[in-house]
Chains A and B, each alone.
Chain A
Amino acid sequence: MTSIPPTLHENPWFTHTVRIADLIDETEGVATYHLVVIDGNSSSTYEFVPGQFNMLYLPGVGECAISMSGDPARKDGWIHTVRVAGNVTKTLARLERGDTLGLRGPFGTGWPVAELVGNDVLIVAGGLGMAPLRPLVYHLMNHREQFGKIWLILGARTSEGLLYPTEYAAWQKRDIEVTLTVDRSTAGWNGHVGVVTQLIDRLQLPRPERTHLVTCGPEVMMKYAAMSGLRLGIDTRRIWVSMERNMQCAAGLCGHCQLGPEFICKDGPVLRYDRIRPYLFVEQL
Chain B
Amino acid sequence: MVTPVSPIYFAKSQLQFLIDVLRHRGYSVVGPTVDQEAIVYSEIQSIDQLPQGWTDEQAPGHYRLKKRDDESLFGFVVGPHSWKKYLFPPKTTLLSAERTESGWQFITRSADTTKFALLGVRACELAAMRIQDQVFLDGPYQDPLYRERREQLFVIAVNCTQAASTCFCTSMKTGPRCEKGFDLALTEIDSGFLCEVGSERGREVLDVFVNLARRASEGTSVVSNTDNDNVISPSIDDATPEQLRLAENARQQAVAQITKHMETSDLPGLLLSNLDHPRWKDVGERCLSCTNCTMVCPTCFCSSVTEVRDLNMDRVERERTWDSCFNPDFSYLGGSLVRNDTASRYRQWLTHKLDGWHAQFGTSGCVGCGRCITWCPVGIDITEEVAAIREGASP
Contacts and interface: CB of A to CB of B under 8 A. Distances in A.
B360 A17 contact: no
Nearest to B331: A246
B108 A85 contact: no
Contact of A99 (B103, B335, B347): B103
A102 interface: yes
Contact of A17 (B106, B334, B344, B356): B106
Given A39-B106, A246-B331, A251-B141, A284 B302 contact: no
Interface in A237-258: 244-246, 248-249, 251-256, 258
Contacts of B325: 255
B352 interface: yes
Contact of A11 (B108, B348, B351): B108
A168 B21 CA distance: 73
Nearest to B301: A255
A284 B337 CA distance: 8
A160 B143 CA distance: 43
A272 interface: no
Interface SS majority for chain B: mixed
A99 B323 CA distance: 32
A214 to B, nearest CB: 22
Contacts of B241: none
A282 B352 CA distance: 15
A57 B307 CA distance: 11
Interface residues of A, number: 47
Contacts of A100: 102-104
Interface of B: 94-95, 97, 99, 102-106, 108, 135-136, 139-144, 272-273, 275-276, 301-305, 307, 309, 313, 316, 318, 323, 325, 330-335, 338-341, 344, 347-348, 351-352, 355-360
19 contacts: A13-B318, A60-B307, A86-B335, A245-B338, A246-B338, A248-B304, A251-B141, A253-B301, A254-B303, A254-B305, A256-B331, A260-B351, A261-B359, A261-B360, A266-B139, A266-B141, A284-B340, A284-B341, A285-B339
Given A245-B338, A260-B272, A261-B355, A17 B316 contact: no
B302 A102 contact: no
